[in-house]
Amino acid sequence: MAKVLVVDDEPNILLSLEFLMQQAGFEVITVEDGESALSHIAEIPPDLVLLDISLPGISGFDVLERLRADTATSRLPIIMLTAHGREVEREKGLALGADDYITKPFSTQALVDKVKVLLDEATP
Amino acid sequence: MGAEVGVFVAAFGYLALLFVIAAWGDRRAEQGRSVIASPLVYTLSIAVYCTAWTFYGSVGRAAEAGPSFLLIYLGPTLAMLSGPLVIRKMIRIARAQRITSIADFISARYGKSSRLGALVALIALIGITPYIALQLKAITLSHAVLMDYPVAPGGPASTAGFLSDKSFWVALVLAVFIMLFGTRHLDASERHEGMVAAIAVESLVKLIAFLTVGLFTVFVLFEGPVDLFTRAASHPPLQNALSLSAVPGGALGWVSTLLLAFLAFFTLPRQFQVLVVENVDERHLTRASWLFPLYLLVINVMVIPIALAGLLLMGSDGDPDSFVLTLPLSAGREGLSLFVFIGGLSAATGMVIVETIALSTMVSNQLVMPLLLRTTKRYQGLHSDLSVWLLGIRRGAIALILMMGYLYHALIGDSYSLVTIGLVSFAAVSQFAPALLLGLYWRGACGLGAGLGMLAGMAVWSYTLLLPGFAQSGWLPLSFLEEGLFGLAWLRPYALFGLDGLDIYSHSLLWSLMANIGVLVGLSLFTRQNHLEQTQAALFADARTEGVDTPPLWQGQTTRGALHDLLRRYLGTASTARVLATVDAPHDRGRIEISTAAGIGSPENGMEESASPQLIARAEQALAGALGSASARLLITSVVRGEALDMEAVLSILDTTSQTLEYNRRLEQKSRELARIGEELRGANERLRELDRLKDEFVAMVSHELRTPLTSIRAFAEILRDSRDMPEAKRTQFLEVVVLESQRLSRLIEEMLDLARLESGRLTLQPHPLEMVALTRQGLAAVQHPIEERGVKLKVTIDLDEAWVIGDSDRLEQVIINLIDNAAKFAADTSPVVLLRLARHQGHVRLSIEDNGRGIAPADRERVFEKFHQLEQHSTASGQSRGRPRGSGLGLPISRGIVVQSGGRLWVEDATTLSGASLIMELPEAPQDKTMLATETPLPPD
């Protein structure tokens, strides 16, 4: 069973994402900030990360950058999930190596589909 | 011989009477009771125009050429009528510039040119000499007629030696008389008031004499005018005498004679003298402008009757020029004849006196003095008093002029009639007219053009009038007249360039004036004037108003002493003291009085001081009055180092400079303004950009804040929609989230609207007295439960029974809730504590809410009140959620806005009891009022 790490500081969003991923048949780990996300990944590498940008402490961009800089996680599928809808931020996320960039509020079905696609690509 | 003695006695008696009148006039002038200050005297003095030529010659011309003699008087009549325009202007200029003669006037107009002055003086001398000769001839002739009647005087006068020629003696006597008469003053610049008085009397005498002989003719010799004209009409040779066609030269002759007389009236030296130089008050001109034409009319009324009577009674063999004498003589009225002789003498001597004085002034000022000054410049120091010289020169000039007149009379005079001689003179002096009249109105007229124009005019005049005169006197071959110079027909003096059919005067006037004006205008158009000339031209041409007496100031330097010495040499000590005193500055006055008493010239009287430009100008003026403007300039130049300041040039320089300065100043001002505006614009642009950036940020933040609850709502809504077989508990939980997030969204929108109202000043509070203890408890009650549910320990310390403030209870309760809520968020993650304290503090009610969190760094304490600040800043640094609701980041900015509007303060400090921060709200305490309780107002829904 594929493991999905969800990083978001909004409890209700976290709750909804956890439910969605579980329903899609994934194992879900939720954390509320970037530091926790990094330590979790280092401990038990997930198959995919749903990453918010506005986080307490280090931002989602910082987390993404560090993951891409590490050879172990450089190819880890990462979807940015953010309420920042401006184009510059989307471009920045993609440039830093995010596999996708989804703006909140999102379509739950589209998100689940996207996660499935990325996990299929990652595991041939 | 007895008759001769009688005539002698009468003539000398008359001259003596004139002298007495002149002396009396001078004395009255010295006493300041001028006898000539009246329009009538002024008019009579102008009547010096009527000379022996009028007295004897008019009848002669009327007898020969009918009414054409009138033209000689119509010209001046026109000239006088134009007086207010032309003559007034000349008077003003002459007064302002201390002009002494027409030569001086023209010289001054063209840059005080001494050459031009000399030229005018020379032309005047040449042109007027025949005219003076004419007067001598008239006196001699009339005397001869009186003595020898009925034998007609005739034969060449010069056959005997000049010692036996009466004309010579007449000239000599007149010379002595005029010397005594006209040069009595040391100060030559003063007016000849005595002379003017005597001339006025002479004009009266000649008028009465002429009218008397006229009346005698009409009413004694004939039986009234009707008788006279009837008899003349029946006499065939006289029928044409009154016809206008008898004028020589026809219509053109009329016009040219009129023009000649018109111009000569301005340019004859004696006319300029009485009209301009001797004028005491320009207002006299107004009455003189019709009184003088009247005088001319009256004196001419009798010309035709006398001429007709003479022709009828004397026959063709009588000399018409002598009719006025011969008519009474023929009737045996010797007394009347003597009176007429005295009248003629009046006319002749009046002219000779004024003309000679005017000419002698010109000769001394324009011819001799400049020469003398140039040649003796080096020896100036040797002559202590040149004013004696000046008088000597003038007396010599008088003698010279009269002798020249005599010589002309003796050698040439006989070949021309009186009128002819007069017209020759007129034609000569009319050469001044272009330079004079154009110069008065056309700034551009230049000195070179004026000079060469006059020379050209004079050359033509000489060729067409003077040389033929010599020829007719036998000095030149007559063939010159008939065949022209070198036998060239087109050079015939009386028909130059083939212009035939004109009388000799019209012919000469036409060509000479054409040459004159042509050269003057032509050269002026292509010649640059020097600065002084420009200045003078401007002063002359613009002298329409009074106050032209602003002479160009001197730029050069000299001492008072030098000026003093110079003036004393030419004006004498008394005049010099007067001149120097008039210009002294007030602070010098005392010294001047002392120095006058002590005798000017002692070195301790500031003679080493440099003279002011005004003093130099005044000195030049004074000298100009005595010596003419050209000589005065020469003298001043000799003592003043440096150039004369050309007023117009200076003004134009000043003008240009000040314009440039003004322009520069404005440019600077404009560029400063532009720089300032640019700075302002940059500032405004900066602010706009900042505002734009803030707006972008605000919009981004707002959208972010709105998206967050919206995300939950949508996600759970879709989950609930797509998962129909969800356990009921989960469904309820998810629906609860949707409701909460919706509420959060509403609150957020509410807060943003509040903030917008606060910022735009549209948030209206309803202040009233309220009790803070109760309000605080009310607020606590609203938040206590949810906070404590999250594990936060809430401690409350209220040391007051009651505390009244003024405010909007709903809004202030909102603030209190907000503050407690915030403190709970800032509190430590583990065992969070919030401490609320309500107390009095220096007249205020203070609510402080502390937490036990990490505190807020001093630099960030104000930033928590910025919109959405809390978004990035709030941190618990822990991954553990306590399930507390997220704030919008707008609570503190809104709270501060409400507190400030209520007259209080809201800020952050370090907590005093706990480890974290302390939010402090202070409101001014209001006087106690128990009638109203804050609790009466309903609570807002949580």
Strands (E) located in chain A: 3-7, 27-31, 48-52, 78-82, 100-103
Mean predicted confidence (pLDDT) in B506-515: 83
- Looking at the complex, report in whole angstroms how far the Cα of residue B888 sits from the nearest Cα belonging to chain A: 13
Number of domains in chain B: 4
Question: Band of the pLDDT at A39, cuts 50, 70, 90?
Answer: very high
Give the CATH number of the domain where residue B725 resides.
1.10.287.130
- Report pLDDT for B238: 63
Structural domain includes residue B205: yes
Which strand (E) or helix (H) includes residue B906? Answer: strand B905-910
- Report pLDDT for B109: 83
Pairwise CB contact (< 8 Å): B737 & A12:
yes
- Report pLDDT for B875: 41
Pairwise CB contact (< 8 Å): A104 & B711:
yes
Residue B811 has pLDDT above 50, yes or no: yes
- Residue A86: closest CA among chain B residues belongs to which residue? B700
Residue B548 has pLDDT above 70, yes or no: no
- Residue A87: closest CA among chain B residues belongs to which residue? B700
Helix (H, G, I), strand (E, B) or coil at B310: helix
Q: Which residues are CB-contacts of B160 (< 8 A; sequence separation ≥ 6)?
A: none
Question: Band of the pLDDT at B641, cuts 50, 70, 90?
Answer: low
- Residue A84: closest CA among chain B residues belongs to which residue? B704
B654 and B794 housed in the same domain: no
B815 and B915 housed in the same domain: yes
Which tens digits make up the pLDDT trace of B739-779? Answer: 989 988 898 888 888 888 888 878 788 888 889 999 999 88
- Residue A31: closest CA among chain B residues belongs to which residue? B879
B87 and B226 housed in the same domain: yes
Residue B381 has pLDDT above 70, yes or no: no
Nearest to B80 by CA among B253, B301, B297: B297
Which strand (E) or helix (H) includes residue B924? Answer: strand B917-924
Helix (H, G, I), strand (E, B) or coil at A107: coil
Amino acid in the structure at residue B659: Q
- Residue A17: closest CA among chain B residues belongs to which residue? B715
Of A3-12, A74-83, B600-609, B785-794, the poorest mean pLDDT is in B600-609
> 3-state SS of B834-873?
EEEEEEEECCEEEEEEEECCCCCCHHHCCHHHCCCHHHHH
Asked if A27 and A51 touch (Cβ cutoff 8 Å), the reply is no
Question: Band of the pLDDT at B941, cuts 50, 70, 90?
Answer: very low
- DSSP states of B867-900 as a string? TTHHHHH-----S----PPPP-S-HHHHHHHHHH
Distance CA B135, CA B323 (A): 17
Give the CATH number of the domain where residue B72 resides.
1.20.1730.10
Structural domain includes residue B862: yes
Of A50-64, A89-103, B127-141, B825-839, the poorest mean pLDDT is in B127-141
Residue B383 has pLDDT above 60, yes or no: no
Question: Band of the pLDDT at A28, cuts 50, 70, 90?
Answer: very high
Residues 885-924 of B with CB under 8 A from A: 886
B594 and B675 housed in the same domain: no
Which of B42-51, B80-89, B706-715 shows the highest mean pLDDT?
A: B706-715
Mean predicted confidence (pLDDT) in B141-156: 66
Minimum-distance CB partner of B741 among A12, A83, A107: A12
Residue B646 has pLDDT above 70, yes or no: no
Which tens digits make up the pLDDT trace of B574-596? Answer: 777 777 776 654 444 434 333 34
Distance CA A118, CA A44 (A): 19
Share above pLDDT 70 across residues of chain B, in percent, rounded to a whole number = 76
Question: Band of the pLDDT at B877, cuts 50, 70, 90?
Answer: very low
Which tens digits make up the pLDDT trace of B880-933? Answer: 333 444 566 788 888 888 888 888 999 988 888 888 888 999 999 887 655 544
Residue A84, chain B, CB below 8 Å: the answer is: yes
Structural domain includes residue B188: yes
- Report pLDDT for B497: 67
Residue A17, chain B, CB below 8 Å: the answer is: yes
Minimum-distance CB partner of A16 among B719, B872, B876: B719
Pairwise CB contact (< 8 Å): B700 & A23:
no
B803 and B899 housed in the same domain: yes
- Report pLDDT for B921: 92
- Looking at the complex, report in whole angstroms how far the Cα of residue B701 sits from the nearest Cα belonging to chain A: 8
Residue A25, chain B, CB below 8 Å: the answer is: no
Question: Band of the pLDDT at B935, cuts 50, 70, 90?
Answer: very low
Which tens digits make up the pLDDT trace of A104-121? Answer: 899 999 999 999 999 888
Structural domain includes residue B867: yes
Q: Which residues are CB-contacts of B219 (< 8 A; sequence separation ≥ 6)?
A: none
Domain boundary at B615, B645, B675, which? B645
B773 and B722 housed in the same domain: no
Sign of CA dihedral B374, B378, B383, B387: positive
Size of interface A-B (CB pairs under 8 A): 78
B63 and B155 housed in the same domain: yes
pTM of the complete model: 0.55
Pairwise CB contact (< 8 Å): A12 & B879:
no
Pairwise CB contact (< 8 Å): B722 & A109:
yes
B35 and B154 housed in the same domain: yes
- Residue A34: closest CA among chain B residues belongs to which residue? B879
Give the CATH number of the domain where residue B862 resides.
3.30.565.10
- Report pLDDT for B67: 73
Minimum-distance CB partner of B711 among A36, A83, A86: A83
Structural domain includes residue B464: no
- Report pLDDT for B159: 41
Minimum-distance CB partner of B714 among A15, A23, A105: A105
Pairwise CB contact (< 8 Å): A105 & B722:
no
Of A56-65, B347-356, B654-663, B845-854, the poorest mean pLDDT is in B654-663
In this structure, what is the dihedral angle of CA atoms B247, B253, B259, B265, given to the nearest 10 degrees? Answer: -40
- Report pLDDT for B428: 81
Residue B212 has pLDDT above 80, yes or no: yes
Question: Band of the pLDDT at B597, cuts 50, 70, 90?
Answer: very low
Nearest to B421 by CA among B754, B134, B843, B46: B134
B801 and B681 housed in the same domain: no
Mean predicted confidence (pLDDT) in B72-83: 83
- Report pLDDT for B582: 67
Structure tokens at B235: 């006499």
Pairwise CB contact (< 8 Å): B710 & A57:
no
Contacts of A22 in chain B (CB under 8 A): none
How far apart, in Å, do the first and last CA atoms of chain B sit?
Answer: 157
Residue B54 has pLDDT above 70, yes or no: yes
Amino acid in the structure at residue B452: L
Residue B873, chain A, CB below 8 Å: the answer is: no
Q: Which residues are CB-contacts of B753 (< 8 A; sequence separation ≥ 6)?
A: none
Minimum-distance CB partner of A104 among B707, B723, B734: B707
Structure tokens at B915: 């480890």
CATH of domain A3-119: 3.40.50.2300
Residue A54, chain B, CB below 8 Å: the answer is: yes
Q: What is the DSSP letter of A4?
A: E
- Report pLDDT for A109: 92
Helix (H, G, I), strand (E, B) or coil at A2: coil
Minimum-distance CB partner of A36 among B714, B740, B879: B879
B809 and B853 housed in the same domain: yes
Contacts of B879 in chain A (CB under 8 A): 31-33, 35-36
- Looking at the complex, report in whole angstroms how far the Cα of residue B691 sits from the nearest Cα belonging to chain A: 19
- Report pLDDT for B738: 92
Helix (H, G, I), strand (E, B) or coil at B724: coil
B173 and B304 housed in the same domain: yes
Contacts of B704 in chain A (CB under 8 A): 54, 83-84
B198 and B183 housed in the same domain: yes
Residue A40, chain B, CB below 8 Å: the answer is: no
Pairwise CB contact (< 8 Å): A85 & B707:
yes
Domain housing B182: 2-249+270-375+382-414
Q: Which residues are CB-contacts of B857 (< 8 A; sequence separation ≥ 6)?
A: none
Residue B720, chain A, CB below 8 Å: the answer is: no
Residue B931, chain A, CB below 8 Å: the answer is: no
Structural domain includes residue B168: yes
Which tens digits make up the pLDDT trace of B269-304? Answer: 888 888 888 888 888 888 888 888 898 888 888 888
Of A75-84, B292-301, B870-879, B932-941, the poorest mean pLDDT is in B870-879
Residue B877, chain A, CB below 8 Å: the answer is: yes
Asked if B499 and B507 touch (Cβ cutoff 8 Å), the reply is yes
- Report pLDDT for B123: 86
Minimum-distance CB partner of B716 among A16, A32, A85: A16
Distance CA B783, CA B529 (A): 104
Locate the domains of chain A by residue range. Answer: 3-119
Q: Print burial letters for B541-551: b (CB count within 10 Å at least 16), e (below 16).
A: bebeeeebeeb
Q: Give the residue carrying structure tokens 């919206």.
A: B710
**How long is chain A?**
124
Average pLDDT, chain B: 77
Helix (H, G, I), strand (E, B) or coil at B909: strand
